[in-house]
A and B are shown apart, each in its own frame.
Chain A
Amino acid sequence: MPDTQQSTVGGLGAQPQVGDVSWLQGVRVVEVTTAVSAPLIGRVLGELGAEVIKVESRAKIDVNRARVPRPSDPEGFPAHEAFQLLHEANAGKRSVTLNLKTDHGRELFLELLGDADVFIENFVPGWLDRLGLSIEGLRERFPRLIIVSASGYGQTGPLRTQRAYAPVMTALAGVEGLIGYEDGEVMGCSSLALADLNCSFSGVHLVMSALVGRQASDEGTHIDLSQIEAASILAGEAFVEHQLSGETPGPVGNSDPGGGRWSLIQDPETETWTGARGSRNGAGPERPSTGKILETLRHRGVEVAPILTPAQVAADENYLSRGFIQSVDHPLEAIGTLQVTSVPWRLEGTVPEVSAVAPCIGSANPEVLGRYVSEDQLAELENEGALK
C-alpha cells in the first residue's frame, strides 16, 4: 500500500497524480460476466489493486466482443477485441477461456475459485445450477468466498430469467417516467445506461462491504443484486412524495430536487446552452447579451453552468489534467491506442492508472491456468476442448 500522498482536501488548486493504487493488493477476483454492469465492478476492483481474472467462453462470448461490424472495418479487423465499451468495462483484467460444460473445464474453474476472494457473475439466473455448480454448493466448498450475482430482476421470482437492458430496467424501476419536461412529456435517458452504472457501483460498495465484514467474521456470503431494485432506490424520494401527497410524480423538467426552477438560456449565436438556478424572465428586445446576464448571475452568487457536450468534456483541460481519460496502447497494432475513462476516485491524491486495455480473449491462459496445470497438460486441455 503506498504512503499517503499530499491531500488535495483543503489544498485548493492541487492536482492529483495518476499512478498505481494497491489498496486491494492480494485480493483475487474471478468473474464470469458480460456487457457492462457486472464487468465494471471487477474493473474498479482491479484498478484499486486486486487481481481480476475474467473467465470467458469462446462459444458464448461477452456481448461487447460480438458487435455489429462497421462498414469501414478492413478485412480481418479484430472487431471482437476492438469495441471501446469492452475496454471501458474490462481494462486491466486477465482473460482465461474455459469450457465449463467439460469436466476438466469445471475442475480448473473450481481451482480458480479456490484461490479467489470474490466471484462475480451476471449470466441468466440458473446457469450455474445447470453446470452442477450451485451457489449453495460453491458456498459450502468455499466458505470465505464472496459471491456477487448481478441480474436484472434478481435471482428469485417469476421474472428472474427475463432479458433486460439498462433502459428496460430503469423503466421498470420507475425512474424513466420521472425524466421529462415540465409539461409532462416523458423523455427518459436511454443513452445514459443508468441502470448499468448504478449497478456497477452498488456492486463495488457491496463487495467492499462484504470484504470488510469478512475481516471480522472470516466468512464469505452470496449477494443477490437486482439492477431494477438498485435503480428503484434512486426514485425513493418520489415514492415518499407520492404517498404523502397522493399525487403520482411525473416529469418535472429542469429543477432542483427541492422544486426550485432552473433556467436554461440559449446563446442565439453559438446555440450553446447555459443553466442557472432560479426562474429568469424571457428575452426582451433590449436585454443584455447572454454572456452579460450570466456574468451578473454569477456575481450575485447564483449557480450558473454551461451545458457542455461530451466532446467538450473530453477535451476539457480540467478533466484531462486530472487523468479523467487515459491513453492506453492495445497489443494488436490494428486497434492502436485507445482512450479509456479512469475510475473517478482519487485515493490519497492518486487517480488509479489504467494499466492495460481489456485483455484479448484467453490471453492469460498460460500464465493463470499454468498455476494449476503443466504446459503439456494445458495443450492437452486445449486439444480436448476444455479451453474453448
Chain B
Amino acid sequence: MTNALMAGKLVVEIGRTRAAAFAGKQLRDTGADVVALQDDLRVAEMTPGARLYMDAGKSVAVWRQGDDREILEDLIAHADAVVTDLPAEELRSRGLDWESLHERFPRLSYVALSSLGWDTGEEGEAGELSMQALSGLMHMVGHPDREPLSLPYGMGSLQLGLHGAGAVATALYAAAESAQGRLVEISGVDVLASYVRIYGAVANYYSIPLTRDGRRAPGSGGRYPFGFFPCKDGYVAMITRSDREWASLLAMMGNPEWSTQDRYRNLYGIAMEYPDEVDALIAPWLQEHTRDELLALAQEYAVPVAPVRTVEEVAQDPQLREFRKFFDTIVTAQGEEILVPGRPWATPERTSREAQAASVSITTEGLGRPSHRPLSPTASLEV
C-alpha cells in the first residue's frame, strides 16, 4: 500500500470554518481527492494563511448562490463523502442535508460538524469561543489570578476537524462493507469536553480541584513535577511520572543537598501540598541553564524535559527537518516557498519529504485567492 491510503476516494468539503477545512486537509494528506467549495463567507472566516496551509493539495472551487444544482449533479454525484460544517438550516434549505443527499445518492457518506451540536438548537452565533468556553477547556487554561485563556489558531476547530477526518474514513469503510452511505455527526464542544475529561480523570482520582493553575497542571497530576518552568532563556516542560525519573532529574541537577530529605522524596506530598516550595528550590538551577542546555542534559539523563519552542525554532529542529523529513513546502503564486508541517506519519513506502513536497505544492494568485483548477470540462460553475 502506498502513502495514498485513501487513493481513489473523492471527498467534497462544504465548509466555512477551520473544522471542515482541517478535516479536508487530513483526508487529502491520506490520499483522498478533496474538493473544497469556497464562498465569500469562507474567505471571510479563514485567513489567507489558514487557507494557504489547509487547502494545499485540494481543489478549491468558487461556490456561488445558484450553483447548487451543478454542485449536486457534477460533483457530489461522483463523490464518496461530504464533510460539512455549515449550519443545518442552511444545508436543508439548499438541499445539501443528509436526508436529501442520502435519498438521491444512497452510497454517499456524510459527516456533519457543528460547534455545539444539534439537540441544543442553534440559537445565536456559536463558534470557536463557544466550543472552548462551554467545554470546560478555558476554565483550565491560564493564570489563577487572571482571566481564563483560550487555545489560539482555532485549535478547537482543528480538533473537531481531526475527528471529522477520522469519521469520514470510518464512514467510508462501513459504507464499503454495507453498500450504504453512512452518517456521522460530531460537535466541537463534545470533542473538547472529552479532552478536558482526560485530565479530569486524574484530578478526580486524587481529589484535585479542577481549575487553572498557571503553568503547572493542577495538583501536578498527583506527582511532582508537571508543568512549564522558567529557565535562562525561556521555559522548559518538565514532567516526571516515576521515582526513577525523579531520581534522574535530581542527578541531572547534581543531586542537590536538599533532595536527600524525605520531604523531597514524597512526590505526592509535594504535588498536593508544597509545589511552590520545591519550585523555588529548583528555580536557581534552571535559571543557570538555557533551554538547549537543558535538552542536552535531559537526553543524557533520560529525563522528560524539553524546551518550549517557537515555531521558528521548530522549523530548524534537526530531528524533524533532517531525520524525519517532516516539513512540506508550499509555493505561492509569487514563487515564495513556505515551509509548513507535513504529514505527521510515515509509511515504509514514503520516499522523502522533498519528494512529497512537490506533490502538495500549490500556486495562488494572491494570498486571498487560492488557485482554482477545473473539476471537469463540463462543469458550469466557476472553478
Asked whether A and B interact, the reply is yes
B-contact bits for A207-218, CB 8 A (1 contact / 0 none): 011111111110
Contact A206 B345 (CB under 8 A): yes
For B199, give its contact among A175, A191, A205, A346 (CB under 8 Å): A191
Please, could you name 19 A-B residue pairs with CB atoms under 8 Å apart, sorted by A?
A7-B99, A8-B118, A10-B99, A23-B182, A84-B204, A153-B319, A157-B324, A185-B143, A188-B215, A191-B199, A225-B344, A232-B320, A239-B314, A239-B339, A248-B312, A264-B147, A307-B138, A308-B134, A322-B117
The smallest beta-carbon distance between A50 and chain B, in angstroms, is 11
Q: For residue A298, which residue of chain B has the nearest CB?
A: B124
User: How far apart are the CA atoms of A36 and B190 in the complex, in Å?
Assistant: 18
For A179, give its contact among B141, B236, B317, B344 (CB under 8 Å): B141
For A257, give its contact among B47, B136, B197, B311 (CB under 8 Å): B47
Q: For residue B190, which residue of chain A has the nearest CB?
A: A344
Q: For residue B211, which residue of chain A has the nearest CB?
A: A309
Among A11-19, A98-106, A107-115, the one that faces the other chain is: A11-19
For A238, give its contact among B97, B153, B194, B326 (CB under 8 Å): B153
- Tell yes or no: A386 within 8 A of B by CB: no
User: How far apart are the CA atoms of A198 and B102 in the complex, in Å?
Assistant: 31
A256 with B128: in contact, given A88-B197, A216-B7, A341-B197 (CB under 8 Å)?
Answer: yes
Among B217-225, B256-264, B371-379, the one that faces the other chain is: B217-225
> Using a CB-CB cutoff of 8 Å, which residues 337-374 of chain A contact chain B?
341-349
A313 with B338: in contact, given A177-B310, A192-B195, A319-B193 (CB under 8 Å)?
Answer: no
Contact B241 A202 (CB under 8 A): no
Q: For residue A15, which residue of chain B has the nearest CB?
A: B119
User: How far apart are the CA atoms of A114 and B120 in the complex, in Å?
Assistant: 46
Q: For residue B313, which residue of chain A has the nearest CB?
A: A174
| Complex contacts, B140 vs chain A, CB 8 Å | 189, 191-192, 310
> Using a CB-CB cutoff of 8 Å, which residues 124-155 of chain A contact chain B?
139, 153-155
User: How far apart are the CA atoms of A202 and B319 in the complex, in Å?
Assistant: 21
Task: Knowing that A186-B308, A244-B367 touch, tell me 14 more A-B residue pairs with CB under 8 angstroms.
Answer: A1-B178, A10-B99, A12-B121, A176-B237, A188-B237, A202-B345, A234-B158, A235-B341, A239-B340, A243-B338, A257-B18, A257-B152, A264-B147, A322-B190
- Tell yes or no: A327 within 8 A of B by CB: no
The smallest beta-carbon distance between A223 and chain B, in angstroms, is 5
User: How far apart are the CA atoms of A168 and B173 in the complex, in Å?
Assistant: 34
User: How far apart are the CA atoms of A158 and B136 in the complex, in Å?
Assistant: 38
- Tell yes or no: B112 within 8 A of A by CB: yes
Among B34-42, B65-73, B281-289, B346-354, the one that faces the other chain is: B346-354
| Complex contacts, B125 vs chain A, CB 8 Å | 277, 301-303
Contact B5 A163 (CB under 8 A): no
The smallest beta-carbon distance between A256 and chain B, in angstroms, is 7
User: How far apart are the CA atoms of A349 and B110 in the complex, in Å?
Assistant: 13
| Complex contacts, B151 vs chain A, CB 8 Å | 179, 189, 194
- Tell yes or no: A241 within 8 A of B by CB: yes
Contact B235 A324 (CB under 8 A): no
- Tell yes or no: B358 within 8 A of A by CB: no
- Tell yes or no: A332 within 8 A of B by CB: no
| Complex contacts, B139 vs chain A, CB 8 Å | 273, 307-310
- Tell yes or no: A262 within 8 A of B by CB: yes
Query: By DSSP majority rule, is chain B's interface helix, strand, loop, or mixed?
Result: mixed
Contact A23 B201 (CB under 8 A): no
Q: How many residues of B contact A (CB 8 A)?
A: 167
Contact A10 B126 (CB under 8 A): no
User: How far apart are the CA atoms of A302 and B129 in the complex, in Å?
Assistant: 11
Contact A234 B155 (CB under 8 A): yes
Q: For residue B214, which residue of chain A has the nearest CB?
A: A187
| Complex contacts, B339 vs chain A, CB 8 Å | 239, 243
- Interface size class on chain A is 35 or more
> Using a CB-CB cutoff of 8 Å, which residues 230-266 of chain B contact chain A?
234-237, 239, 241-242, 245
Contact A202 B162 (CB under 8 A): yes
- Tell yes or no: A165 within 8 A of B by CB: yes
Contact A306 B134 (CB under 8 A): yes
A242 with B170: in contact, given A16-B119, A167-B237, A308-B134 (CB under 8 Å)?
Answer: no
Q: How many A-B residue pairs have CB under 8 A?
A: 499
B-contact bits for A28-47, CB 8 A (1 contact / 0 none): 00000000100000001000
A-contact bits for B180-219, CB 8 A (1 contact / 0 none): 1011111100110111111111101111001111111110
Contact A237 B341 (CB under 8 A): no
Which of A187, A213, A274 is most buried by chain B, counting CB atoms within 10 A of its CB?
A213
- Tell yes or no: B303 within 8 A of A by CB: yes
The smallest beta-carbon distance between B324 and chain A, in angstroms, is 5
- Tell yes or no: B309 within 8 A of A by CB: yes
Contact B141 A192 (CB under 8 A): yes
- Tell yes or no: B366 within 8 A of A by CB: no
User: How far apart are the CA atoms of A7 and B111 in the complex, in Å?
Assistant: 12
Contact A174 B193 (CB under 8 A): no
User: How far apart are the CA atoms of A191 and B219 in the complex, in Å?
Assistant: 10
| Complex contacts, A208 vs chain B, CB 8 Å | 166, 169-170, 172-173
| Complex contacts, B159 vs chain A, CB 8 Å | 197-198, 201
| Complex contacts, B141 vs chain A, CB 8 Å | 179, 187, 189, 191-192
For A85, give its contact among B4, B201, B322 (CB under 8 Å): B201
| Complex contacts, A162 vs chain B, CB 8 Å | 298-299, 302
| Complex contacts, A257 vs chain B, CB 8 Å | 18, 47, 50, 128, 152-154, 157
A8 with B341: in contact, given A165-B241, A179-B149, A308-B139 (CB under 8 Å)?
Answer: no
- Tell yes or no: A123 within 8 A of B by CB: no
Contact B136 A310 (CB under 8 A): yes
Contact A313 B193 (CB under 8 A): yes
| Complex contacts, B6 vs chain A, CB 8 Å | 209, 212-213
Contact A249 B237 (CB under 8 A): no
Contact A171 B53 (CB under 8 A): no
The smallest beta-carbon distance between B190 and chain A, in angstroms, is 4
Contact A181 B149 (CB under 8 A): yes
- Tell yes or no: A379 within 8 A of B by CB: no
User: How far apart are the CA atoms of A275 and B156 in the complex, in Å?
Assistant: 15
The smallest beta-carbon distance between B94 and chain A, in angstroms, is 11
A240 with B201: in contact, given A256-B128, A262-B150, A318-B119 (CB under 8 Å)?
Answer: no
